[in-house]
């Protein structure tokens, strides 16, 4: 389950292509090499369709469950 393609960590500037929420999954399409970004919700929605077509499926949704440093007090 390793890939030679360098991945990068997603950050707050990465937005879901579907809804604009913060992206936690990065997909690289095998055919075009194009990059798609999805939030946790949409990643699950497109996974059955896109995963077989992808050369890379970078899932950082585990970070959604990290409670520390995600809260903004205002
Ligand atoms: Zn989304």
Q: What is the pLDDT of residues 30-73, one digit of tens each?
A: 999 999 999 999 999 999 999 999 999 999 999 887 765 555 54
Q: How far is the CA of 4 from the centre of ligand 1 (A)?
A: 27
What is the model's pLDDT at position 74?
52
- Please measure the distance between the N-terminal and C-terminal CA atoms of the chain and give it in whole angstroms: 42
Q: How far is the CA of 39 from the centre of ligand 1 (A)?
A: 4
User: Residue holding tokens 């007090």?
Assistant: 73
> Rounded distance, CA 29 to CA 49, Å?
12
3-class secondary-structure state, position 16: coil
Phi, then psi, of 59 in degrees rounded to 5: -110, 115
User: Residue holding tokens 């500037």?
Assistant: 13
What is the model's pLDDT at position 69?
53
CA dihedral for 14, 20, 24, 25, sign (positive or negative): negative
Q: How far is the CA of 17 from the centre of ligand 1 (A)?
A: 7
């Amino acid at each position: 389950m390793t890939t030679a393609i360098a991945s990068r960590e997603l950050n707050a500037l990465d937005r879901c292509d579907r809804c604009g929420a913060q992206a936690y999954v990065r997909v690289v399409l095998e055919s075009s090499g194009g990059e798609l970004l999805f939030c946790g919700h949409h990643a699950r929605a497109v996974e059955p369709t896109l995963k077989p077509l992808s050369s890379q499926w970078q899932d950082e949704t585990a970070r959604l469950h990290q409670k520390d440093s995600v809260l903004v007090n205002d």
